[in-house]
Structure 1
């Protein structure tokens, strides 16, 4: 019973201030974390908005990274486009949210990528 009340409270708080109504600021870049599921190695990737970086077989482009206005260490939202070298199309295109990585996750058999935070300098 308590779990359902907690979930209801969480959902009510999430609905009370929709994401589109929050004031956000665009950052100069962000930090992503990548996991190679084959080797088990992780790497933090610093990327500037508009920049493309390579990680393993992936090509990652961050078009924007946003955070709550006045709180740079707050929840990050990053617009990413991820493709795999040598293969047509994209593996992922959209927004990833640091506090809810499973909400909009990249589906890839070898790699996982998720947002850690935005950077302001």
Structure 2
């Protein structure tokens, strides 16, 4: 049991350090995919985000496929990576997200790039005057939906 706790703590520290480091997304993704596979983490194809518009108090759940761009208000959301732990370990979801604020004229300003952890949304949060975004969970498309292309 102590070995599992040490392994959990080591992974949490590694994830926290990676979240704070300014490493390009593609390098982080490939390195963590290799490490996640070895640790038994489960890769998912869709992330579930919760978004809050602070002006209107509107809360929206967004299901966004990994690698595709979604929008909430003036924000452009792009999830590069979404994983959860296997069922035999304590539940945890983490996602690598890039968020751009689209200004007038179509120019983009990167307002967030990094890891968000579902159990600790304040660990690495989006700091925006109008919007809040946080990770809720990851999902995998059902095999029936993927194979139903007749």
Shorter chain as denominator, the TM-score bin is 0.7 to 0.9
Give the Å deviation of 1:23. 3.1
So what's the TM-score if we normalise by structure 1? 0.80
Matches for 1:34-45 after TM superposition, within 5 Å:
34-45=51-62
Give the Å deviation of 1:25. 1.8
Aligned length: 107
Structure-1 residue corresponding to 2:50: 33
Structure-2 residue corresponding to 1:61: 78
Deviates more, 1:22-31 or 1:99-108: 22-31
Bigger share in helix? 2
| 1:8-39 CA distance string (max 9 Å, x none) | xxxxx5x5522258531211111000000011
Structure-1 residue corresponding to 2:41: 24
Question: What RMSD over aligned residues (CA atoms) do the two structures have, in Å?
Answer: 2.0
Cα separation, 1, equivalents of 2:108 and 2:50: 24
In structure 1, the gaps of 5 or more residues are 1-12
Give the Å deviation of 1:88. 3.8
| 1:46-91 CA distance string (max 9 Å, x none) | 00110100111100000010100246xx321011000111254311
Question: Does the 8 Å CA contact 1:29/1:64 hold for their aligned counterparts?
Answer: no
Structure-2 residue corresponding to 1:111: 131
Cα separation, 1, equivalents of 2:140 and 2:78: 18
Matches for 1:31-110 after TM superposition, within 5 Å:
31-70=48-87, 74-86=91-103, 87-110=107-130
Bigger share in strand? 1
SS of the aligned residue for 2:99 comes to strand
So what's the TM-score if we normalise by structure 2? 0.65
